[in-house]
């Protein structure tokens, strides 16, 4: 691992004081300690405190000497995220409003019993993709999250939820497009996977993307490979151009080709998410086209009946239409599930995460208008 970036900061004097250990993988913390003349093995201890025990104050790391605690406090920080508020839905889903160091806000969601416990994590403040039915998209992209901020959400949620040692999954389905913030997202997954920390295996992670193709090609080469979910939502170019504007750049055809090439592990499938919009993309012809499109891919389909919101021009289809659509897929041999929406009463469901900023955007005004039932 290169330590050039560390050395350059170090030789420029006190700048080391600005290094936030929450932004570093364990090996990078080891390198930083090396430069300070601190034995490398202490990095593992510190990493365990931060991730396995949720302690970020060096003074509370009781297996380190007082002298080392002082050195570390003088040299490093451990960025932590502040939970501003949380709201629990009637179905147990809990939405956390999290404040970042620069005052920006994001939302993360805990979904109990799915059947595992699931954390829905954000990768950006806002989102640039602007899908026609998604409230987060109305915010536009405010900024990327750092690796520490992405992994930090998991740290915070673990601390706040009654997991009691139970395994949990994470889905990168909160605010933002993970492949539009590739490096930070993958770094966060490496931090979370570390056996000395939360030890979250990649198979417990699902990365959901609209199909940013350069990112998808890179992901196909990753040693740490999460499950892949593709937000498809349409079966023709014309329809997808309208619903998922990034399709004008990375076409439906190229996306399907990339999925065909994607290395899917044994007994795994690519999930295709398909938001159902009443009389827009939910007809029997759409269902049949979807079957043809996914032919030759180890696929499963997750249908998401639209979560409606003011300012979103579409409506949710009736249960009958949803079931009829699902039946066409199932009858032709596709594995299909319908996503039961969780946390809709607290605006924590898919496509409903949005945060008010200092200046309000159109989307933020819309969000304010949504009253919890």
Interacting residues of 109 by C-beta distance below 8 A, sequence separation 6+: 93, 94, 95, 96, 119, 120, 174, 342, 343, 348, 353
Using CB positions, name the residue nearest to ligand SAH.
Answer: 351
109/287 with CB nearer ligand SAH: 109
Which residue in the list 107, 149, 177, 273 is annotated as catalytic? 107
Q: Which of 28, 105, 177, 282 binds ligand SAH (CB under 6 A)?
A: 177
27/222 with CB nearer ligand SAH: 222
159, two tokens: 């601390």
Q: Which of 169, 181, 247, 307 binds ligand SAH (CB under 6 A)?
A: 307
Residue 203 CB coordination number (10 Å) = 12
- Contact flag: residue 173 with ligand SAH (CB under 6 A): yes
Q: Which of 350, 354, 355, 367 binds ligand SAH (CB under 6 A)?
A: 350
Minimum distance of ligand SAH from residue 280's CB (angstroms): 13
Instruction: Supply angle C-alpha 113, 115, 120, rounded to 5.
Output: 65
Phi and psi of 218, rounded to 5°? -65, -40
Q: Which of 89, 153, 208, 281 binds ligand SAH (CB under 6 A)?
A: 208
Q: Which of 22, 131, 192, 225 binds ligand SAH (CB under 6 A)?
A: 131
Q: Which region, judged by CB under 6 A, interacts with ligand SAH, from 15-23, 100-108, 141-149, 206-214?
A: 206-214
Minimum distance of ligand SAH from residue 350's CB (angstroms): 3
- Contact flag: residue 210 with ligand SAH (CB under 6 A): yes
- Contact flag: residue 150 with ligand SAH (CB under 6 A): no
Phi and psi of 293, rounded to 5°? -60, -40
Spatial separation of the C-alpha atoms in residues 149 and 145, rounded to whole Å: 6
With the C-alpha atoms ordered 119, 120, 126, 128, is the resulting torsion angle positive or negative? positive
107 is catalytic: yes
Spatial separation of the C-alpha atoms in residues 175 and 356, rounded to whole Å: 13
Q: Which of 351, 363, 364, 367 binds ligand SAH (CB under 6 A)?
A: 351
- Contact flag: residue 205 with ligand SAH (CB under 6 A): no
- Contact flag: residue 306 with ligand SAH (CB under 6 A): yes
- What's the helix, strand, coil split of the chain in %, to 5? 40, 20, 40
- Contact flag: residue 325 with ligand SAH (CB under 6 A): no
Helix/strand/coil for 93? coil
Minimum distance of ligand SAH from residue 279's CB (angstroms): 16
Minimum distance of ligand SAH from residue 218's CB (angstroms): 16
Side-chain-facing half-sphere of 372: CA atoms under 13 Å: 12
Closest CA to 170 of 210, 209, 124, 204: 204
Spatial separation of the C-alpha atoms in residues 191 and 150, rounded to whole Å: 10
Q: Which region, judged by CB under 6 A, interacts with ligand SAH, from 8-16, 44-52, 78-86, 125-133?
A: 125-133
Closest CA to 106 of 353, 349, 361, 371: 353
180, two tokens: 């539009």
- Contact flag: residue 19 with ligand SAH (CB under 6 A): no
- Contact flag: residue 133 with ligand SAH (CB under 6 A): yes
Closest CA to 38 of 3, 64, 9, 5: 64
Residues engaged in binding ligand SAH (CB under 6 A) = 129, 131, 133-134, 173, 177, 208-210, 231, 273, 275, 304, 306-307, 350-351
């Amino acid at each position: 691992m290169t330590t050039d970036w560390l050395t350059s900061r170090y030789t420029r004097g006190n700048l080391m004081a600005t290094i936030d250990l929450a932004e570093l993988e364990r090996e990078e913390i080891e390198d930083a300690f090396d430069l300070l003349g601190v034995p490398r093995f202490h990095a593992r201890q510190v990493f365990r405190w931060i991730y396995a025990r949720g302690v970020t104050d060096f003074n509370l790391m009781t297996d380190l000497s007082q002298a080392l605690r002082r050195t570390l406090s003088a040299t490093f920080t451990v960025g932590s995220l502040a939970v501003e508020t949380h709201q629990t839905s009637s179905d147990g889903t809990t939405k956390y409003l999290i404040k970042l160091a620069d005052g920006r806000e994001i939302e993360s969601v805990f979904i109990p019993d799915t059947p595992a416990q699931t954390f829905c994590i954000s990768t950006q403040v806002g989102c640039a993709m602007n899908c026609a039915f998604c409230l987060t998209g109305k915010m536009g992209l405010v900024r990327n999250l750092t690796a520490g901020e992405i992994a930090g959400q998991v740290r915070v949620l673990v601390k706040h939820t009654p997991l009691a040692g139970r395994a949990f999954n994470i889905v990168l389905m909160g605010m933002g497009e993970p492949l539009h913030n590739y490096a930070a997202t993958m770094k966060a997954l490496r931090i979370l996977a570390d056996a000395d920390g939360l030890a979250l295996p990649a198979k417990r992670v699902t990365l959901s993307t609209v199909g940013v193709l350069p990112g998808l090609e890179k992901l196909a080469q990753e040693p740490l490979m999460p499950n892949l979910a593709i937000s498809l939502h349409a079966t023709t170019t014309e329809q997808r151009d309208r619903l998922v504007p990034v399709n004008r750049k990375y076409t439906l055809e190229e996306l399907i080709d990339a999925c065909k090439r994607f290395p899917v592990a044994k007994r795994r499938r690519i999930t295709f998410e398909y938001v159902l919009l009443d009389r827009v993309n939910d007809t029997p012809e759409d269902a049949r086209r979807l079957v043809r499109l996914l032919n030759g891919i180890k696929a499963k389909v997750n249908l998401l009946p639209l979560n409606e919101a003011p300012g979103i021009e579409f409506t949710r289809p009736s249960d009958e239409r949803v079931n009829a659509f699902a039946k066409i897929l199932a009858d032709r041999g596709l594995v299909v599930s319908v996503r039961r929406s969780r946390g809709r009463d607290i605006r924590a469901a898919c496509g409903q995460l949005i945060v008010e900023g200092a200046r309000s955007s159109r989307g933020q005004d819309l969000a304010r208008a949504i009253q919890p039932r």
